Amino acid sequence: MQSFALAAAAVAVCAGLAELAAGLGHRVGLWSFGAGFQILAGAAAVGGVGAIVSLVAGAWAWRARARPALAAALLGVAAGALALGIPLAEIYQARNVPPIHDISTDTVHPPRFVALLAAREASPNGAAYGGAALAEAQRRGYPDIRPLDYAARPPVAFERCLAAARKLGWKIVAADPRALRIEATATTLLFGFKDDVVVRITPVGPASRIDVRSDSRVGRSDLGTNARRIRAFFRELARQG
């Protein structure tokens, strides 16, 4: 039974490693994101089986007081639960956010891509904004995503926005202090998806209005990533001043 517990733990751990490989393989161009998602789904199923089998082996090891087998079984339960839990959490997230990928604080006149226009037009999701239907979906799903009224003169706001973007690890593509516009690309951790961001500063008397648009290059739903990015950007601005 000890070898059974070790085998179950090995299966669960391998499932977790396969999930990491699913994303890393896409990052380095070994397969498409669709194939990566298929690997992720398969690894989740295997991880779930590994967790259940490890749980059975752990119950036996507990009764038999077989400590090495119990340790292996606990490892298998943890690894399998993690391998299954992460994709399930993503599925839950997908069902609780609108299936959109282009988020803007200004849905009437969203900030335009200029420096990134060619990259956007070459991507599956393109550069055009989705119009009233997209705006309504965003309003229902993310009612808090709105322009930020910022108590600083536009040149100061521009520098703080640039600093915030760099702090968050965005790759700055263009920073135009005359146009008061910043364009950047953010890369997701596991799969390395590219999301493009435009920050637009508009003078409002002695203060500024800050608009942000964050748009994924691929995929119908971003699982809430772009809305979270805009919130994180505004939080970083708040910490700066």
Same domain, 184 and 236: yes
Per-residue pLDDT tens over the stretch 47-62: 999 999 998 888 888 8
Separation of alpha carbons 215 and 199, rounded Å: 12
**Portion of the chain with pLDDT greater than 90, in percent:** 62
**Which among 95, 121, 146 is the end of a domain?**
95
* Residue with more model confidence, 19 or 116: 116
Domain final residue, candidates 95, 126, 156: 95
Long-range contacts of 32-40 (CB under 8 A, 24+ apart): 33/191, 33/193, 33/218, 33/219, 36/191, 40/87
Distance (Å, whole) CA 190 – CA 209: 33
Q: Is the pLDDT of residue 215 over 80?
A: yes
Asked if 52 and 6 sit in the same domain, the reply is yes
**Residue 222 Cα distances to 65, 95, 104, 191, 212, angstroms:** 47, 11, 13, 12, 16
Q: What is the pLDDT of residues 141-200, one digit of tens each?
A: 999 999 999 999 999 999 999 999 999 999 999 999 999 999 999 998 878 899 999 999
pLDDT at 30: 83
Could you tell me which residue, 100 or 56, shows the higher pLDDT? Answer: 100
Nearest to 159 by CA among 62, 240, 80: 240
**End residue of a domain, out of 77, 95, 113:** 95
**79 and 159 share one domain:** no
List % helix, strand, coil for the chain (3-state, nearest 5): 55, 15, 30
Mean predicted confidence (pLDDT) in 56-77 = 86
Give the predicted TM-score (pTM) of the model: 0.84
Q: pLDDT tens, 5-29?
A: 788 888 888 988 888 888 888 777 8
Reported as type and span, the H/E element at residue 197 is strand 194-204
The model's confidence at residue 1, banded by pLDDT at 50, 70 and 90, is: low
Asked if the model's pLDDT at residue 92 lies above 90, the reply is no
Give pLDDT, residue 191: 83
164 shares a domain with 107 = yes
Total structural domains in the chain? Answer: 2
- Domain extent at residue 85: 2-95
Whether 87 and 141 map to the same domain: the answer is: no
